[in-house]
Amino acid sequence: MESRLVQFVNCRLLRDHSIVKDDFWVRNGKIENPEKLFFDEKVQADVQVDCQGAIIAPGFIDLQLNGGFGIDFSHDIAKVEEGVAKVAKGILAHGVTSFCPTLVTSPAKLYHQNLPRIKCREGGAHGATVLGVHLEGPFISPQKKGAHPIEYIRTLDEGFQTLMDVYSTLDNVSIITMAPELANAPAVVKELSNRNVTVSVGHSMGDLRQGEIAVQHGATFITHLFNAMLPFHHRDPGLVGLLTSDAVPEGKTVFFGIIADGIHTHPAALRIAQRTHPAGLVLVTDAISALGLQEGTHQLGQMVVEVKDSHAFVAGTTTLCGSIANMIECVQHFAKATGCSMVTALEAASLHAAQTLGIERKKGTLQFGADADFVLLDDDYTVRSTWISGECVYKNPQYNK
């Protein structure tokens, strides 16, 4: 079964930054080069799949997902493995084939208990691939804490040792968000980068120079641009200025997450970000446990959240605390708000996220040899089906194929 050569016909492919009409070949969970099949192996497809004119795009990758479907990764300690599995399964319907479970600022006990249990694993019918944990805090600014509980926010008094005391392990950790203005932050950023952990600046009062120093020491990402950071100012644009900074090392790209849910980021701000630095834009949901649920009261880490009129607030306040939008909704809103091409919108949800983690040869692409993780879409971005390693893991019930 695994060695079947599958040919997808009557489809359009997102490849090499354009949408082309071509067949799509998959075998052993990888994307195949048809020229080698025809001229070297002289083989034919074992199975043909008629895509009925659909677009085949790389599977979406969500680098910031706090939970969903009633699950909160920063609160459900007892059943965290089951919770991650439930969310991984649920997001297949949104075209997501890989994600980073995200933990918000929490007590050290939670990190010690949860981190070893949120293991990286390949996706399949059981759910999307777990790429590693995104630790959003607790080394952030109290002034830009957002929905993070202030009593658990920490400084880096003893540098990297303090970080390890709080987290206990970096196994299975892919991204860490921290405020670059903290004392000892540059050295910590450098050490994390040397350990192949993606460092993101965010939840910060940092100015542009402090952001540039972090980037020069290895930071490569900005957590939910515009949110929980100093607003743009013409004399010091803050972390937003990293999008056009001339102090970024040559050949290095600063990527930035952005929440295109129609609530966190104004359409004009989306347009500014997209037109200023399109190659770095990464769509993230920042979704919380209320994703996929009705309005009401829910949990985010140590805080109670109220969801009303599609907004999620810290209970009793007007502080936004994550979204309830799914990835395909963010893609649709982003495309509409910016007027960008379908290629631009889809790569913001796939290729750029993979590049952020340095896995763009395997994920976020339909290049030959990459993992066969992809989504079939209509021209209005409706998900027809989701595939991981060349196997259909979700089929929209409104379609027969």
224 is in an annotated binding site: yes
396 is in an annotated binding site: no
**Torsion on CA atoms 89, 203, 223, 190, rounded to nearest 10:** -110
264 is in an annotated binding site: yes
228 is in an annotated binding site: yes
Cβ atoms of residues 363 and 81 within 8 Å: no
Catalytic residue numbers read: 286
147 is in an annotated binding site: yes
227 is in an annotated binding site: yes
Cβ atoms of residues 147 and 305 within 8 Å: yes
154 is in an annotated binding site: no
268 is in an annotated binding site: no
Other Cβ atoms closer than 10 A to 252: 11
322 is in an annotated binding site: yes
Cβ atoms of residues 123 and 373 within 8 Å: yes
Rounded to the nearest angstrom, the gap between the alpha carbon of residue 185 and the centroid of all alpha carbons in its chain is 24
296 is in an annotated binding site: no
Residue 85, phi-psi category: left (phi > 0), alpha (psi -120 to 50), beta (remainder): alpha
320 is in an annotated binding site: yes
Residue 230, SS3 per DSSP: coil
17-25 own/partner pairs: CB under 8 Å, 24+ apart: 17/343, 17/347, 18/343, 19/55, 19/342, 19/343, 24/51, 24/56, 24/366, 24/374
- Output the CA torsion sign for 367, 372, 378, 381: negative
Helical segments of 195-295, H only = 208-216, 267-276
Q: Which of 181, 165, 104 is nearest to 136 (CA)?
A: 104
Known binding site for Zn(2+): residues?
Answer: 136, 203, 224
Known binding site: residues?
Answer: 136, 147, 203, 224, 227-228, 235, 264, 320-322
Known binding site for substrate: residues?
Answer: 147, 227-228, 235, 264, 320-322
